[in-house]
């Protein structure tokens, strides 16, 4: 679960990492007083805010309100900024980068630091980025902070501030179950303070059961995405016209690849996870109808459930309202033949293999254009 900047900064603050003074508002007239120059920052769950005009300076209350009214409601990469963060403007002497995330290859947390922080961090050469694995058995130790500080080449006073931030950030990651904590830029101010200019924190959504405080946070989802999420179905909108329902991420992706090879294009896909639960298949069919594709391709590889039970769920779902769009259905597993006959009798297009199903669905989608 991604946190908005102001939420992420609250978490940083909780762990004693310095952040600029500031407050959040959802309407410009909530800005009453500011002490000195501020930055008004859009609050959206995406990067590239600055380039999109979502971050603006202001000197006075009037100016801050004016800027805020332009930013509130602004759409940045598909996300609407409902709030703005108004915070004291930092006198930047230097911008650093500090992040902790998961290193899949090393099966550990990894701390990353660079003296070249800022917007272009991804193109910084490898030798300017320090990566330190946080070993499970060693954990965070002060030597790690010393390594980071020496890599950054900072004077002693700031080096100790930085080492302290490293320690607190690793504590944050472990205690809050964060899969990402990133400060970019980590600002060294002209008066020699080290402060988090921006903050990105993502909480591991699989760990939310032990972090109730994050469960109620709103997420930026469309109504259909919201419905799908409640059913534990992955729902992704694309730009083609075939609606794909499959079970399991790998199989869903393979289905998209196969459609593509036969000239079709997926418009939306629903991944039920590694299950063939007939109830879930039925819910997915109902959701899919709301997404209004031209053709539906159902590809279920069954493990333990009987195909005829899954087919019955599909038929129940389309029975409630008359379906005018073609449905190509491929259900693999026990009692496959019975399911095939049931689907055929109901006017669907049964397929026996993945490539056959992809070919049929693609043909149908091209015909209906």
Partner 1 sequence: MAIIVDDNTKLVVQGITGYQGSYHSKAMMDFGTKVVAGTSPGKAGEKVNNIPVFDSVSEAIETTGANTSCIFVPAPFCKDAALEAIDAGIKTLVVVTEHLPVLDAIHFVSVARSRGITVIGPNCPGIASPGKAKVGILPNKIFKKGNIGVVSKSGTLTYEIVNSMTERGLGQSTCVGIGGDRVSGTSFIDILERFETDKQTKQIVLVGEIGGTAEEEAAEYIKENIDKPVVAYVAGRTAPPGKRMGHAGAIIARGRGTAESKIKALVAAGVKVAKIPTDVPELLT
Interface residues toward partner 1, by CB under 8 A: 2, 45-47, 97, 99-105, 107-110, 112, 121-122, 126, 129, 131, 135-137, 174, 177, 179-180, 182, 184, 200, 202, 204, 206-207, 209-210, 236, 238, 246-251, 253-254, 256-261, 266, 273-274, 301-304, 332-334, 353-355, 358
Selecting among 83, 95, 182, 364, the annotated active-site residue is: 182
CB of 266 to partner 1, least distance (A): 8
Question: Does the annotation mark 15 as catalytic?
Answer: no
Nearest Cα to 356, choosing from 285, 286, 242, 255?
A: 255
Distance separating alpha carbons of residues 56 and 43, to the nearest angstrom:
12
Q: Where are the alpha helices (DSSP H) in the chain?
A: 5-14, 61-71, 142-152, 156-176, 212-215, 223-230, 249-261, 278-291, 307-319, 336-345, 354-367
Burial of 156 by CB count in 10 Å (0-12 exposed, 13-18 middle, 19+ buried)?
A: exposed
Q: What are phi and psi of 115, to 5 degrees?
A: -75, -10
CB of 240 to partner 1, least distance (A): 10
CB of 296 to partner 1, least distance (A): 18
Of 161 and 247, nearer to partner 1 (C-beta) is: 247
Give CA separation, 68 vs 105, 151, 218, 327, 330, in Å.
Answer: 43, 39, 21, 49, 52
CB of 265 to partner 1, least distance (A): 9
Of 163 and 183, nearer to partner 1 (C-beta) is: 183
Question: Does the annotation mark 182 as catalytic?
Answer: yes
Of 210 and 230, nearer to partner 1 (C-beta) is: 210
Distance separating alpha carbons of residues 300 and 282, to the nearest angstrom:
12
Q: Which sign, positive or negative, has the C-alpha torsion 322, 324, 330, 335?
A: positive
Of 259 and 342, nearer to partner 1 (C-beta) is: 259
CB of 174 to partner 1, least distance (A): 7
Selecting among 6, 97, 140, 214, the annotated active-site residue is: 97
Cβ pair 179, 101 in contact under 8 A: yes
Of 107 and 156, nearer to partner 1 (C-beta) is: 107
CB neighbourhood size of 152 (10 A): 24
Alpha-carbon Rg for the chain, nearest whole angstrom, is 26
CB of 314 to partner 1, least distance (A): 17
Distance separating alpha carbons of residues 28 and 303, to the nearest angstrom:
55
Of 63 and 204, nearer to partner 1 (C-beta) is: 204
Distance separating alpha carbons of residues 44 and 76, to the nearest angstrom:
7
| Residues with active-site annotation | 97, 182
């Amino acid at each position: 679960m991604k946190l908005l900047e102001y939420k992420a900064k609250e978490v940083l603050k909780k762990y004693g990492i310095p952040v600029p003074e500031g407050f959040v508002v959802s309407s410009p007239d909530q800005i009453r007083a500011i002490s000195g120059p501020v930055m008004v920052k859009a609050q959206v769950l995406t990067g590239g805010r600055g380039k999109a005009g979502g971050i603006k300076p202001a000197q006075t209350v009037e100016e801050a309100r004016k800027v805020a009214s332009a930013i509130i409601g602004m759409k940045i990469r598909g996300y609407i900024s409902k709030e703005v963060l108004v915070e004291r403007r930092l006198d930047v002497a230097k911008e650093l980068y500090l992040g902790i995330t998961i290193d899949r290859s090393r099966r550990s947390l990894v701390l990353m630091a660079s003296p070249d922080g800022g917007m272009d961090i991804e193109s910084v050469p490898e030798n300017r980025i320090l990566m330190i694995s946080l070993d499970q058995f060693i954990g965070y130790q002060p030597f790690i902070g010393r390594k980071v500080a020496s890599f950054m080449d900072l004077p002693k006073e700031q080096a100790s501030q930085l080492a302290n931030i490293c320690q607190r950030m690793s504590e944050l990651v472990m205690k809050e179950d964060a899969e990402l904590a990133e400060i970019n830029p980590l600002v060294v101010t002209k008066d020699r303070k080290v402060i988090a200019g921006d903050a990105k924190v993502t909480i591991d959504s699989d760990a939310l059961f032990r972090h109730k405080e994050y469960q109620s946070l709103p997420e930026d989802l469309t109504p259909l995405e919201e419905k799908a999420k409640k059913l534990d179905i992955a729902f992704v909108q694309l730009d083609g016209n075939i609606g794909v329902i499959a079970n399991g991420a790998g199989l869903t992706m393979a289905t998209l690849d196969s459609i593509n090879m036969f000239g079709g294009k997926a418009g939306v896909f629903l991944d039920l996870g590694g299950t063939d639960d007939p109830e879930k298949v039925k819910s997915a069919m109902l959701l899919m109808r709301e997404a209004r594709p031209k053709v539906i391709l159902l590809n279920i590889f069954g493990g333990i459930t009987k195909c005829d039970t899954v087919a019955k769920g599909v038929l129940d779902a389309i029975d409630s309202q008359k379906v005018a769009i073609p449905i190509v259905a491929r259900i693999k597993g026990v009692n496959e033949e019975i399911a095939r006959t049931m689907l055929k009798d109901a006017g669907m297009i049964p397929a026996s293999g993945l490539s056959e199903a992809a070919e049929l669905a693609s043909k149908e989608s091209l015909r209906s254009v």
